[in-house]
Structure 1
Amino acid sequence: MADQTLPVPEYSRNMRLLSHSDQGGKPDGVQVMVHRGYAYIGHMVSQGVSIVDVRDVKHPRPAGFIAAPPGTWNVHLQAHDDLLLVINARDLFADARFADEKVYYTRSVTDTLSHGPSDRGWSAGLRIFDIGIPDRPREIGFLSVDGIGIHRIWYVGGRWAYVSALLDGYSDYIFLTIDLADPAKPRVAGKYWLPGMHTAGGEQPDWPLGKRYALHHAIVSGDTAYGSWRDGGLTLLDVSDRAQPTLISHRNWSPPFGGGTHTALPLPDRDLLIVLDEAVLDNQEDGEKLIWVFDIREPANPVSIATFPQPVDTDYAQKGAHFGPHNLHENRPGSFISSTLIFATYQNAGVRAYDISDKYHPRETGALVPAAPVSLMDKRPGRPRVIQSCDVFVDARGIIYSTDYNAGLSIIEYLG
């Protein structure tokens, strides 16, 4: 059930906390999707997916749990129509080699795992569930892949899904198109990677030491995939032929900026692209991270024209843990869709709303910083007990749902 006493937010402006859920005693959360009145939440620690009934947003209640296979992450997922797609990947944060998160974010995952023992005690691929009955998912298909597995998905119905996957023979996560013509028999249709990533093909990385080139994910609009490659920057890919994705343009601003490109959200009606760089290390050790506005009228030449303002209501850089952007609400079909009001998570600075009616001068219009977690689900050594607002989903009514690695689900009303 929802917590009886609402945690008191550390800060709020033009937002109010409606309710909170510990997600059935599993308060660690990564990606959240709200579909037909149910929240589906991928976990970082609890190895599975929680289902929370949010039809009454003031009284959320646990409604089920999908266990992951042993040793497997289910951190990301997508829900549309009657399908729920859930990633399977090796639980990297359970591996002692990644106990220091700097290792995960500053070098190739394949390179790290090449040192020391390795077993195949995890499942790698994509699980597909029928959610015609929302709180009774029924697994109907599985796409198995070689390697570490899949990290994140973009799926908004129809035949095609798009994933980032770390396959054997590659240095890190690359772009795949997935054919779901028969959801019970998904198959890989096409691939794209940055030059230097196909190690089995003899390619050699040419990027600086301490940088991690890896696709976080791509958002697809029409026949263009907007890909975020962590320290590898931004790509626009032509996916009109799903079997042969081709490069339209590639931009990278790291260095001089700190990298971590995480989400690229197209606003096609305005020829704009909102690009977010994730803060990945404590105390801004990876530098100041920003949310950028790109003009993409000419897809072959995306141009940055503005950045979002940073939170200034307190000194978040000194607060501890990660300060900086993590993710955007992604304007999915059936959710809240706007090309002028943008929602982002800012980790130790909570959830933020921005008005970009003037594309050259974005301004913050609301914020809510949830209370610190009561305890830590994240068992990596030395993690501070500080809010780390992770993902944000805004439903068609404008209700905000935000997860945290330790602090449960916050359900928030925007008042701006």
Structure 2
Amino acid sequence: MSLMVAFSTVAHATPPAGFDEFTGVWPTAVEPADCRPGDLVETGIQGEVPLDDRRSGRSTEGYNCNIDLVGQYQGRGAGPVSPTYENCAYIASTWPTNLLGPDAGVQVLDVSDPANPIPTALLTEPAMIGGTWESLKVHEERGLLVGTGVGLIESAGYISVYDISQDCAHPRLLNPATGSLPNMPIPITTHEGDFSPDGNTYWASGIAPGWISAVDITDPAHPMVVWGGLTGVAAHGMGFTPDGNTMFLSNLAGLTIIDVSAVQNRAPRTVIGHPLPHIGAKFWTDGLLNQHSIHVTYDGTPHLFTVDEGGSGGVKLFDITDPATPRWRTSAKLSINLPENQDRWASSNASNGPFGYDAHYCSVDRVDDPSTMACSWIQSGIRVFDVSDPDRFREIAYFNPPAQTGKHRQLPNSLHATLGSIAAPPVIGTFALARALMQGQTGADGVINDQSRLVGADLSADWCLSPPEFHGDMLYVTCMDNGFMALQLDPSVYPSR
């Protein structure tokens, strides 16, 4: 096994010979980070919180490599996606369990002093109390914060738009009527969402049955749906070309590529009913539940990072010179995601909820010739990669926060500690395990063990789902049980810019 793991840490510069982009499984992990003396390094293979560490309590100390925790605000935990803006952070809400605590809604933090984040406001409109899930997003240039009320996985109708450009610590609601009052919903389905690049449209998606809506927020005080339609059997997160004319919409196991220029270039509020043509699609079986995408360029050539939140797919990089036919260029995976390690993938997180060691959201330090990508990797914590060479990624740092074992009741706003405990086995991702077993790449010994249970996640590792966002040489991020954290990257791996 040690020889296999050592081999697996050398990533292919290009897809292996004969690699099939639909049926193939990327076979290698990124080169592991070279950690500092004194770091609390991982004791298992790359990305793993070993079963022994969970049993002994070692996982409550966390793991770090070339990153230091500067400051933290745990509060009552966090929902899936909590964005930041300048010196502020916005902690996503989880419905209905956030109602069990005294601070139901989206918590606003002032992070002017990263070592001492301070709560400054609580957003309590229907959308904010109703569980923002993956809809809570910031548009940097316009200084807007938008979120929708998602409820349990999917809902409809409520959206709140805030001005954060003047005082980010005290957001100002811009739409006190349409979309925000209980008796004035708008016709959208909600789960995930994001801004168009120019910030004039907020795109809301509601997973099943693949319905997405374009909300015109040119006038933020009066959000209005200007387009809505079916895109397939499911719709998740998204990414855009810089001009906003092409959407890369995440679906169950790939991307739907849509021409949205009619919405992007609309005469104000005149688009409803206009069909949006599909440019193409890209599907794969290495990973599932595609989450979101990031448009970047390398030497002027357009590329797309896209993230799978299930099935050990990791993060893929596609050359999208022809956006209709993305070409898979390389992948970022951890050793725990490889087929030969799927037995360890399943056994070590046997009782910590449906999500295991999978990527969820990423960000890059810049979109043109990115040098660094930071990702939330659920039970593997925060992972940071050197992506300056698009054919060979390597890991440079990681931070997996201390497990909050036994603190379920203290964290009513943590999706992991509350709703994530309904199902204890790592059911999201079992497709990769099943395939590895059928192909003889891994064994079943230990997959079911003394820690296995059907309900009640043991909180033996945190869930990190929110994108780590670059603030100079720091990362601002939330993990569900640990809440908000300000992390300092060591200058030896990420020089101050």
Counterpart code for 1:54: V
CA distance in 1, matches of 2:156, 2:282: 34
Cα displacement (A) at 1:148: 5.0
Alignment correspondent of 2:440: none
Cα displacement (A) at 1:9: 5.3
Describe the shift of the 1:343–1:154 C-alpha distance in structure 2 as closer, same or farther (beyond 3 A): same
Contact 1:224 1:239 (8 Å CA) reproduced: yes
- Does the alignment pair 1:364 with 2:395? yes
Counterpart code for 1:241: A
Contact 2:189 2:212 (8 Å CA) reproduced: no
- Does the alignment pair 1:74 with 2:103? no
CA distance in 2, matches of 1:82, 1:290: 31
Cα displacement (A) at 1:233: 1.5
Contact 2:188 2:204 (8 Å CA) reproduced: no
Alignment correspondent of 2:457: 383
Contact 1:150 1:165 (8 Å CA) reproduced: yes
CA distance in 1, matches of 2:316, 2:121: 38
Alignment correspondent of 2:149: 88
Cα displacement (A) at 1:360: 1.8
Alignment correspondent of 1:227: 248
Which secondary structure does the structure 2 equivalent of 1:26 belong to? Answer: coil
CA distance in 2, matches of 1:398, 1:336: 16
Contact 1:227 1:264 (8 Å CA) reproduced: yes
Alignment correspondent of 1:351: 382
- Does the alignment pair 1:18 with 2:70? yes
Counterpart code for 2:136: L
Which secondary structure does the structure 2 equivalent of 1:73 belong to? Answer: coil
Contact 1:329 1:343 (8 Å CA) reproduced: yes
- Does the alignment pair 1:172 with 2:205? no
Alignment of 1:5-404 (within 5 A): 10-22=62-74, 25-44=75-94, 45-46=97-98, 47-69=104-126, 72-75=130-133, 76-80=135-139, 81-89=142-150, 91-92=151-152, 124-131=157-164, 132-141=166-175, 142-143=178-179, 144-146=185-187, 148-154=189-195, 157-165=198-206, 171-195=208-232, 197=233, 213-242=234-263, 243=271, 244=274, 245-253=276-284, 256-268=285-297, 269-279=300-310, 287-311=311-335, 317-320=346-349, 321=352, 322-329=356-363, 339-374=370-405, 375-376=407-408, 377=411, 378-380=417-419, 381=422, 382-385=456-459, 386-404=461-479
Cα displacement (A) at 1:27: 1.6
Contact 1:130 1:140 (8 Å CA) reproduced: yes
CA distance in 1, matches of 2:203, 2:189: 17
Describe the shift of the 1:26–1:339 C-alpha distance in structure 2 as closer, same or farther (beyond 3 A): same
Describe the shift of the 1:236–1:181 C-alpha distance in structure 2 as closer, same or farther (beyond 3 A): same
Cα displacement (A) at 1:310: 0.8
Which secondary structure does the structure 2 equivalent of 1:274 belong to? Answer: strand
Q: Percent identity?
A: 20
Which secondary structure does the structure 2 equivalent of 1:222 belong to? Answer: coil
Structure 2 portions without partners, runs of 5+: 1-58, 99-103, 180-184, 264-270, 412-416, 423-455
Cα displacement (A) at 1:157: 4.8
Q: TM-score scaled by structure 2? A: 0.64
| Deviation larger for 61-70 or 293-302 | 61-70
Which secondary structure does the structure 1 equivalent of 2:322 belong to? Answer: coil
Counterpart code for 2:294: L
RMSD of aligned alpha carbons: 2.9
Cα displacement (A) at 1:345: 0.8
| Deviation larger for 231-240 or 154-163 | 154-163
Counterpart code for 1:60: P
Which secondary structure does the structure 2 equivalent of 1:241 belong to? Answer: helix
Shift >6 Å, 4+ stretches: none
Contact 1:29 1:406 (8 Å CA) reproduced: no
- Which structure carries more relative contact order (alpha carbon 8 Å, separation 6+)? 2
CA distance in 2, matches of 1:53, 1:227: 33
More strand by share: 1
Structure 1 portions without partners, runs of 5+: 1-6, 94-108, 110-121, 198-212, 280-286
Alignment correspondent of 1:98: none
Cα displacement (A) at 1:54: 0.6
Counterpart code for 2:464: S
Cα displacement (A) at 1:394: 2.0
CA distance in 2, matches of 1:330, 1:356: 9
Describe the shift of the 1:235–1:259 C-alpha distance in structure 2 as closer, same or farther (beyond 3 A): same
CA distance in 2, matches of 1:153, 1:414: 27
Describe the shift of the 1:69–1:174 C-alpha distance in structure 2 as closer, same or farther (beyond 3 A): same
Which secondary structure does the structure 2 equivalent of 1:325 belong to? Answer: coil
CA distance in 2, matches of 1:15, 1:163: 34
Contact 2:193 2:202 (8 Å CA) reproduced: no
Of the two, which has the highest radius of gyration? 2
- Alignment deviations for residues 117-172 of structure 1 (CA, whole Å, 9 cap, x no partner): xxxxx872211123332222232214333465353222555422222146xxxx43
Aligned residue-pair number: 348
More helix by share: 2
